[in-house]
Amino acid sequence: MNVRGRGPDRGFTYIGLLIAIVLIGAALAMVGEVWGTEAQREREAELLWRGDAIRAAIEAYVLAAPGGAWAYPHELKDLLQDPRAPMVKRYLRTIYADPMTGAADWTLIRATDGGILGVASASKGKPIKRKGFRPVDYAFENAKCYCDWQFVFLTAGQRLPATR
Residue 7 within any structural domain of the chain: no
Please give the share of the chain, as a percent, with pLDDT higher than 90. 51
Pairing of strands 107-110, 116-120: antiparallel
Q: Which residues pair with 107 in a beta bridge?
A: 120
Residue 122 within any structural domain of the chain: yes
Q: Do 145 and 126 meet the contact criterion of CB atoms below 8 Å apart?
A: yes
Residue 50 within any structural domain of the chain: yes
Residue 126 within any structural domain of the chain: yes
Range of the domain at 40: 12-152
- Mean per-residue pLDDT of the chain: 87
d(CA 92, CA 114): 20
Number of domains in the chain: 1
Q: What is the pLDDT of residues 86-126, one digit of tens each?
A: 888 999 999 999 999 999 999 999 988 899 999 999 999 99
Residue 105 phi, psi dihedral angles, 5° rounding = -110, 45
Model-level pTM? 0.77
